[in-house]
Amino acid sequence: MITPHVLEMILEVPQILPFVSGQWILLGYEDEQGVFKRAYSIVNYEAQDEKMYITLCVKLLELGRGSAVLKNKKV
């Protein structure tokens, strides 16, 4: 957590992809209401060896559906 309301997520992507500034990623979640998606801007991109890492900064909203799923994730 960067702050109590901002979560930094670093995701490993299985293949190196071309990156252009301003890109975003769509992540899928599932909760008791079903499957849903949220879009996030990529704040950093880093390729190392044969792996690609992207960094997202996510603002956690008190009543946000995606925020509720992320708050309950154990990393």
Say yes or no to pLDDT of 8 above 90: yes
Longest Cα pair distance anywhere in the chain, in angstroms? 39
Return the closest-CA partner of residue 45 out of 34, 37, 54.
54
pLDDT at residue 4, as a whole number: 87
- The model's pLDDT over 24-75, given as tens digits with 9 standing for 90+, comes to 999 999 999 999 999 999 999 998 887 889 999 999 999 999 999 988 876 5
Kindly tell me the burial class for residue 54, based on how many C-beta atoms sit within 10 Å of its own C-beta (0-12, 13-18, 19 or more).
buried
CATH fold of the domain at 6-71: Elongation Factor Tu (Ef-tu); domain 3 (2.40.30)
d(CA 68, CA 72): 6
pLDDT at residue 75, as a whole number: 59
Which residues make Cβ contacts (< 8 Å) with residue 51, sequence separation at least 6?
Answer: 12, 13, 16
**Domain limits of the chain?**
6-71
Helices (H) and strands (E) in the chain, counts: 1, 5
Average pLDDT over every residue of 8-17: 85
